[in-house]
Structure formats: structure tokens, C-alpha cells
Structure 1
Amino acid sequence: MKILFFILFFLPYCALAFDVKNVIDSPMLTKKIGTNRTIIVDINGKGEFKSVQAAIDSIPEGNSHWVIVHIRKGVYREKVHIPKTKRYIFLRGNGRGRTAIVWSESSSDNIASATFKAEAPDFIAFGISFKNDAPTGVAYTSQNQSVAAFVAADKIAFYHCAFYSTHNTLFDYKGRHYYESCYIQGSIDFIFGRARSHFHSCEIFVVDDKRITIRGSITAASRENEREMCGYIFIKCKVYGIGGVYLGRAKGPYSRVIFANSYLSNSIVPEGWTNWSYDGPTEHLYHAEYKCHGPGARTEGRAPWARQLSDEQVAPFLAIDYIDGKNWLPAYL
């Protein structure tokens, strides 16, 4: 009886204690960047600023030392831009369920629609939701573009953040990026661009788009030639949701996306990958999977160019060296 009691009540806490050492949290990141310079943003007026953008604007151009912008709980309805001239900013929220930056805008220009834009290298965000809550409009019109975040610089990391929209949620445009324990929601091309990015332990939630007959895609990764060092690598992620989508669609002849050791629900259609809108040859497409599991991971019916990778083939992509993370990331799994 005592053994059963221990199993039911104490083992879960032991497991939790074991896992805690693998969690990257705010105190760890704060310690790693080594700064005591903090700007407080409080929507209720109990900080130095009530607006996130006002806090960013207060940081001098050419900033060369890490500064923390602590955004206390609340929904901040504003567009936020980290300009190219303001490096070393750590945007720290109180948790993605408590701190949110929200705007509502559709545009024929993805960048113009973005709620949040990061265009400076050496940027970190923790515990924040980024949302574009523009209503879903008419298919194939400018009302489709409603980007939550535009990530367009080198050495950028998001920890425990969330990205919400429908069409074109996360514009992962260029540079080396790291997303850890993030939540990303969308329906069509909701992670797109030509960055070199690791997505580690992320949740990807599919929202069915009933306006159209084609299936949506989680990714639309651009890569025009084999010399381009870009592509999206998903490691130990969870894909689930409402309706069916492809893991990715081809954007350019060398489009590269890998899902590794990830759970794929029935939200992934049997073909897995599509070359919709791309009419070129498929032999150089690098749409691949490695040891995924779940009902959406079955290989029967996969697109003919889709790859199932071996341990040796996948190894260079799973290593943090793929994004040179040992040289710039404050922490990684």
C-alpha cells in the first residue's frame, strides 16, 4: 500500500523535479545575458512606460549592452518595432498567457501587416504572445496577409512565446533563429520565409480554413539554390488541431523543412507535402521526416519526393551547430 501511495503521489513530483533542470526560464536567461539594466512597462501606469514601443524608443541607437524590457501582464494593443539600430534587447513578459502584444491589420504587404517586427540582431523574447487578430477575409485577396511577427535579423531567439493569426502567422524571414517551447497557430503558410531556424519542443496548432478547396500548409520555406544556408528544422514538436494541412509546400526548387522526433496528429494529410503553386522539378526539394510518431506520421501515401532520413543524414540538422547556436544563444536544449 505504501509503495502504491508513493507511485501515485510522489513519482510525478520526482519526474517534475527531474525535468525542471531542462527548462529554460526567465531567471536563467537574465543570468546568462548578465545585465542589471531593466525598463519596466506596465499598462496600468506602475512602470516607467505604459507602451512597449515607448520603452523601445527610449533605448539609444547603437546600443551595445543588453537591456531588459520587462512587460508586465496585460494586453498591449499596439504595433511594436525593434529597429535595426537597437541591438541587445531582451523583451521579457510575464508568461504568454499573461502578457500579449496584439494588433489587427490585414494588408497586401506581409511586413506592413505585422503586429511585431524584429529587425535588429541579438534579440531575445520570453513569455509573450504576439497576435494579429484581423478577421479572416476573402480568400486570394489582400485580406489574407495578417502577420503576427516578422523576424528579419540574425541571432534572434524566442522562448515560451506564442504566435496567433490565420494566414501567414510567423514571417520567419532571414537570419539564424531559435524557437523553444513556443506555440504557433495558423491555417495557411503560417511559418514562412527563408531563415535558418530551429524549432525545439514547440506546439503547432492547425486551424482549418474552410474558405478554400486546397489544403493549407504549416510551412512555406523559400530556398532558391543549394548554397543558401536556410531551412526550418522542427525537433520534438507537437502538431495537432482542427482540419487537415500539409507539413509544408515548396517555395523554390531547394525548399528545406525537416520534422524530427515530432508528434504528428491526423491534422497532417497522408501526402504530407505539396508542390502546389510550384511547377518546377522536385528532385532537389528537401522535405523530410525523421522518426516522427502519431497517426499523421504514417509514410503511406507520402509525396514521391518526401524523404525519410537516416541517423547519419539528419545529424547535421539536429545539432545546434546548424544555426551556430553555441556562439550566440544564451541557452538552448
Structure 2
Amino acid sequence: MSMELQTMFLFLTLLVFLASYRADAAEATLIRVDPSGEGDYRKIQEAIDAVPSNNSKLVFIVVKPGIYKEKIPADKPFITISGSKANASVITWNDSGNIFESPTFSVLASDFVARYLTIQNSYGAGAKAVALRVSGDRVAFFGCRISSYQDTLLDDTGRHYYSNCYIEGAVDFIFGNAASLYERCHLHSLSEGDASITAQRRESPSEDTGFTFLGCKITGVKTALLGRAWGPYSRVIFALTYMSNVILPQGWDDWGDSSKQSSVFYREYKCYGDGADTKKRVGWAKELTENEAELFLTKKMIGGKNWIRSMPTRFKSWTMPKPNNGD
């Protein structure tokens, strides 16, 4: 075979592979969860448990409207869990204490997607009570409502994307050391004093982590700070975001350690609203420059173009696993 024919053969082989890959990526196995018993399972955790541990195919779990009183570890890759409207499919629990043990919902696997769900911890004030823990890589949330009081969202590790989500809490209610982009999200602070919205924990300049809020909206019941420095290299950016008068003029806090002031990266960029006036901000928080903005105003920071996936276009029916030993 000539070199030209070999090249053409390899090219055609690659095209066939890519076509089949896109077809596989567009098809998902459909599992239905319905508390009335009309679906494949009554509980969300039962559906997750039924997926093989080494799963490599897309699984789409549809959650019918209802109140799901479950404490869920999502530990299987390539799963999407979706309701139809966030306020209709509610996952709720009531727990407090350790930030890794109290979450209502914990994402522990990679390539996970949640759509149109409410995830809440109903414990209330007085203790750490996490609603959602995200410790997997390549994880996305679309149109979800996430609510608690203290430490609502443990945005722990990995690359994450939040789109059009509502996130509510009072104290450090978005915290952790993930690399995350929040796009067009609504942040609602329950703080009545100087509690912080964010507590980002970047611990060295070599860590490619941080929280970026792009085109978001901030409201609240009284007053709050944009963030405080959990880690010495804490990195948070608010860009093109509406800030109501809930935001205190100083904006940021060093968590009682002035040495962090020279190492944190707190930036704002073309924000607007009564709380966006930067004239009285702390001196170690800056405006984002045009050059800096190139990295933070797109999905480049999280490499999202390569892994944020759209809805499947085809579905195949779920086959119930056969029982073992007659059980």
C-alpha cells in the first residue's frame, strides 16, 4: 500500500472512530426514579447503587417530582441525575458536624452531572451543615438549588462548573479548594452581619484552583462579605456580577492573619450594583486587569470545553440486574 493510501486509510479510520464516539456520547441508559413505584426504583440511591462500579457508559437517572429524604454518596462515574424543575425534585437531609460527613449529597466520582434538583440540609443555624460536597473531577450542575445555613457547598477538589444555580447560606457557604466556574448563578446570603459568602482554601501558588463567579447575582437579608481567606493563597474572582447593597464596603477579610494579605488573589471585574463600589475595599483586593481577565472570563481555567457535556440525544431502556442466589 502506498504512503498516500495508508494516510487516507488512517484518516478514514479516525473519522469512523470519532463518529462512533460521538454516537456513544450522545446515547445514555435511562433509569427512572419515582417514589410512587411507577419507575425502576423508588429511591435515588437505589438507582446509583445499580450502576456498575466500573461504569464507563452514560447513565441518565430521571428523578420524578417528590421529596427524597436521602443522604446520598454518588460514587459511580458518568452519571447524570436530573429532575424536571429544581423546586419539584427535592433531596433533603438534616445533619451537622464534620464537613465530610454531614453533606446531604456527596459527589465522589468523576464525570457527574446534576440538573434541576434541589439539594438541601435543613439543619439550620448553630453548626456546620453541608448540603452538597463535590470531590469528583469534571462535575457540572445546571439549574440546581443548593441551600443550608453554614457551609452550604463544600466545593472540595476537582474541576467544577455551575450554571444558573441558586446557592443560599450565611457563613462561608461556598468553600473548599476546587477549580470552579460559577456562571449566571444567584448567591443569596442569610448573613446578618459580616459572614462571608466564600472561603477558598488554595494553599500554594502552584495550585491551579480558585472560584470564579461570572455574570452572577448577589442578594441577601442584611450584610455580608464577598470572601475570607481560608488558605494563604485563596483565589476568588467576581466578574460582571450584580452586587446588591448586602455587600459590605470593605468586601474581603484576611481571617485574622494579615500575612495572607500579600498572597491572596481577590479580584473584581466590571461588577455593578450598590454593593460593587470598590472605593472602600481593602487595599489588598484589586480590580482584575484586561490581561488577567482572559483566563478567568472563559472556561479555560477549568478546561471545560473538553468535558462539559450537553444532554444526551438518544436513550436506551434500563435492564434490571438479575438477582443473586435467589434474593
The CA deviation string for residues 245-290 of structure 1, in whole angstroms up to 9 with x for no partner, is 1100012221100000000001100000011243424112101100
In the alignment, structure 1 residue 122 sits paired with structure 2 residue 111: yes
The answer for the alignment partner of 1:249 in structure 2 is: 228
In the alignment, structure 1 residue 111 sits paired with structure 2 residue 103: no
Number of matched pairs: 289
Is the Cα–Cα contact under 8 Å of residues 31 and 61 in structure 2 kept in the other structure? yes
Distance 1:93 1:110, change over 3 A: same
The answer for the alignment partner of 1:192 in structure 2 is: 175
Normalised by the size of structure 2, how large is the TM-score? 0.86
SS of match in other structure, 2:146: strand
The answer for the alignment partner of 2:68 in structure 1 is: 76
Aligned letter for 2:137? Answer: D
CA distance in 2, matches of 1:136, 1:321: 37
Distance 1:125 1:257, change over 3 A: same
The answer for the alignment partner of 2:250 in structure 1 is: 271
Q: 1:40 aligns with which of 32, 35, 41?
A: 32
CA distance in 2, matches of 1:101, 1:254: 34
CA distance in 1, matches of 2:199, 2:258: 15
Is the Cα–Cα contact under 8 Å of residues 154 and 176 in structure 1 kept in the other structure? yes
Correspondences of 1:1-12 after superposition (within 5 Å) = none
The CA deviation string for residues 93-139 of structure 1, in whole angstroms up to 9 with x for no partner, is 121111110000111x11111000000000000000100001322xx
Q: Which runs of 5+ in 2 are unaligned?
A: 1-22, 312-327
The answer for the alignment partner of 1:229 in structure 2 is: 208
Q: 1:183 aligns with which of 147, 166, 169?
A: 166
The answer for the alignment partner of 2:298 in structure 1 is: 319
The answer for the alignment partner of 2:78 in structure 1 is: 88
SS of match in other structure, 1:313: helix
The answer for the alignment partner of 1:62 in structure 2 is: 54
CA distance in 1, matches of 2:62, 2:227: 35
Q: 2:151 aligns with which of 149, 159, 168?
A: 168
Q: 2:262 aligns with which of 277, 283, 306?
A: 283
Q: Which runs of 5+ in 1 are unaligned?
A: 1-30, 138-143
CA distance in 1, matches of 2:109, 2:255: 33
In the alignment, structure 1 residue 294 sits paired with structure 2 residue 273: yes
CA distance in 1, matches of 2:90, 2:25: 23
The answer for the alignment partner of 2:282 in structure 1 is: 303
In the alignment, structure 1 residue 49 sits paired with structure 2 residue 41: yes
CA distance in 2, matches of 1:33, 1:99: 26
SS of match in other structure, 1:215: strand
Distance 1:278 1:95, change over 3 A: farther
Distance 1:76 1:115, change over 3 A: same
Q: 2:135 aligns with which of 129, 149, 152?
A: 152
CA distance in 2, matches of 1:147, 1:136: 11
Distance 1:207 1:226, change over 3 A: same
Q: Which has the higher contact order (CA 8 A, sep 6+)?
A: 2
CA distance in 1, matches of 2:114, 2:36: 22
Bigger-Rg structure (1/2): 2
CA distance in 2, matches of 1:32, 1:129: 29
The CA deviation string for residues 209-241 of structure 1, in whole angstroms up to 9 with x for no partner, is 4xxxx6110100001111000000000000001
CA distance in 2, matches of 1:307, 1:250: 15
Aligned letter for 2:287? Answer: Q
Is the Cα–Cα contact under 8 Å of residues 147 and 168 in structure 1 kept in the other structure? yes
